[in-house]
Amino acid sequence: MRKPLRKAVLPVAGLGTRFLPATKAMAKEMLPVVDKPLIQYAIEEARAAGIEQFCMVTGRGKTALVEHFDIAFELEATLRQRNRTDALEALKGSQVEPGSMLTVRQQVPLGLGHAIWCARAFIGDDPFAILLPDDLVLSETPCLKQLADAYNETGGNVVAVVEVPREHTNRYGILKTGKDDGRLVEVQGLVEKPAPADAPSNLSIIGRYVLMPEVIGHLAKMERGAGNEVQLTDGMAKLIGNQPFHGLRYEGIRFDCGDKAGFLEAQIAFALARPDLADAVRAFLHKYV
Ligand code: G1P
């Protein structure tokens, strides 16, 4: 029996400079795709994978993220008085079990590996998931659920992977691949943001991970990698050979919502997937293209 996967870490300390001025006074993870903030997509996806405890690694100016998952007592009382069951229903996904969401602060922006290390007390000795809310996946089965199922099959570490154009390898963590059955691929090495000429493959990691707690010990050494940051990818690379490590080609479409064009594409794709909006969106798109 695998140790059950119940914990998720959500690094949300980034400054969101690519979305200024929108993110001047607001966390970028609060930007909505259609009508739901990015952070809520991540929490709902985690829940659907059996996650029960959440830790957001936040920073200054991110209090809205905490508020969002609280009960908005006055709002709900007013909606109830007005019999607005539709609006009350819309609030449901933004409520979490009392005591199930913690936050820790990453006081200094030293990189993703450092952010995850900041959650070490929360992680303890348990396997844990990481969701990067910028990466949004539209799929039949929620992406993290696909990873959790793969973890139950293989044990050890599992990361979501997708083939990218070779000229984009310098944007991602890249796999050196071993045995590959077309869905699950053995990870033999990991490199953070290699130049296309140095990349061991074009199989890249997206922001969904199931990791073993031992990664924390490696991150704790605070070794600097690409961009002079403490890289999660480098910490994970140290696990290879000691524990199972697999990449999973997930089913679904990934949108990079940290990028303006990716974010806009996500708006369109998610709106078209909504029965209440699809017709209207399709109709107006014709006007522009
Ligand atoms: C991070 C990781 C990278 C991964 C990517 C997925 O990079 O460091 O390995 O491929 O997320 O989105 P970032 O996007 O923070 O530069």
Does the pLDDT at position 251 exceed 90? yes
Per-residue pLDDT reduced to its tens digit, 43-53: 999 999 999 99
Tell me whether strands 128-131 and 7-11 are parallel, antiparallel or unpaired.
parallel
Mean pLDDT, residues 178-185:
96
**How far, in Å, is the centroid of ligand 1 from the Cα of 87?**
35
Q: Cα(136) to centroid of ligand 1, in Å?
A: 13
Establish whether residue 174 lines the binding site of ligand 1, counting it when its CB lies within 6 angstroms of any ligand atom: no
Residue 45 CB–ligand 1 contact under 6 Å: no
Task: Give the Å distance between the CA of 277 and the centre of ligand 1.
Answer: 31
- Mutation to probe ligand 1, out of 116, 132, 231 (largest number of atoms < 8 A from CB): 132
User: Can you identify the CATH homologous superfamily of domain 7-288?
Assistant: Spore Coat Polysaccharide Biosynthesis Protein SpsA; Chain A (3.90.550.10)
Whether 1 shows a pLDDT value over 90: the answer reads no
pLDDT at 237: 98
What confidence score (pLDDT) does residue 15 get?
85
**pLDDT at site 119:** 98
Q: Of the candidates 67, 58, 48, 71, which has an alpha carbon nearest to the alpha carbon of residue 13?
A: 58
Q: What are the φ/ψ torsions at residue 10 (nearest 5 degrees)?
A: -120, 105
- Please provide the DSSP assignment of 26-85 as one string: S-GGG-EETTEEHHHHHHHHHHHTT--EEEEEE-TT-HHHHHHTS--HHHHHHHHHTT-H
Nearest ligand 1 atom to alpha carbon 256: 12
Q: pLDDT per residue over 122-169, tens digit each?
A: 999 999 999 999 999 999 999 999 999 999 999 999 999 999 999 999
User: What average pLDDT does the chain have?
Assistant: 96
Rounded distance from Cα 207 to ligand 1 centre (Å): 7
